[in-house]
Amino acid sequence: MTASPEEPASLLHRPRMVRVLDVVDEAPKVKSLSFRDKVSAAAKPGQFGMVWAPGVDETPMSLLPSDDDDIVTITVRDRGEGSRALLRKMTGDLIGIRGPYGNGFTYAREKTILMIGGGTGVIPLIALLRTLAARGAECDFVLGARNSRELLFSDEIRRLSTQSRGVFAITTDDGSAGTKGLATDEASKLLRAKSYGRVYACGPERMMRKVVTLAEEAHVRIEAGLERIFKCGSGICGSCCVGPYLVCKDGPVFKGEILTELPEFGKSTRDASGRPVAIGTR
């Protein structure tokens, strides 16, 4: 993100203390926290902020701006000490935010779009869906989860997809909502049945690797958002390296042709110490 003359670049890297305005339970061990921050409200879909739980840790979070007076939402899943500290926050508590950082999704000029999201990966896709639907694109959306209790933001995604004259499909591993199976199964059906101008994906990396392969086979351009451990968020520490790229700086959104050249994509990641570890099935 390029700072405006009124907002110097140094402001992005300096933690800004904001007060939690609202806390919403989204799913088991998943909550959304809203706050007001003018700088974060300028984030593009796919960009992230480093969110600080004072006295504990910083955690990278996708930023979901609204059109309402610089209100921004982050959605937190229990993944460690930092995220658990954020999950304990209540209305009125203070948290820190710096950024936004990274490269987000590019806005497609094409009029027929397919999006595939899973878990908290739906957050940047919702921001993108809001924009593309408002621009008149027909947006099909596949939302995947383990079960019905873990589906996130399905009501808003359904509303926006329907408004754009698109298809909204839900898949769950156990069949408790939508179609039993994987999001990639439904994406494969749609790519065979319909011509798309662009595909966007964000969620579990093994899922995204399959989606990238499906899009390439259908000769459709695709962008996908990666998730790695970010310690600095601004390209200094190198903890998020993938091949020759730093996910926090060169990503987190990458074009499909770049991802297919990365042997690690969908297969391995790095733990907090930098050691390669295999990516699980979900």
Domain residue ranges in the chain: 9-101, 112-278
> Confidence class of residue 188 from pLDDT cuts 50, 70 and 90?
very high
Q: pLDDT at residue 60 above 70?
A: yes
Query: Whole-angstrom distance between the N-terminal and C-terminal Cα of the chain?
Result: 31
pLDDT of residue 117: 96
User: What are the structure tokens assigned to 26, written together?
Assistant: 């989204």
Q: What is the CATH number of domain 112-278?
A: 3.40.50.80
Q: Does domain 9-101 have CATH number 2.40.30.10?
A: yes
pLDDT in tens, 137-177: 999 999 999 999 999 999 999 999 999 999 999 999 999 99
Q: Is 194 helix (H, G, I), strand (E, B) or coil?
A: coil
Total-model pTM: 0.91
Q: pLDDT at residue 282 above 50?
A: no
pLDDT in tens, 70-106: 999 999 999 889 999 999 999 999 999 999 999 999 9
pLDDT of residue 246: 87
88's CB contacts (< 8 A; 6+ apart) are none
Q: How would you label 73-95 residue by residue, b for 16+ Cβ within 10 Å and e otherwise?
A: bbbbbeeeebbbbbbebeeebeb
Give Cα separations from 134 to 42, 178, 182, 262 (angstroms): 17, 26, 29, 34
Q: What percent of the chain has pLDDT over 70?
A: 95
pLDDT in tens, 2-41: 444 445 556 777 889 999 999 999 999 999 999 999 999 9
Q: pLDDT at residue 199 above 50?
A: yes
Phi, psi of 157 (to 5 degrees): -65, -40
Q: pLDDT at residue 238 above 90?
A: no
Give dist(CA 10, CA 258) in Å, integer. 30
pLDDT of residue 6: 47
Angle between helices 122-134 and 154-163 (to 10 degrees): 20
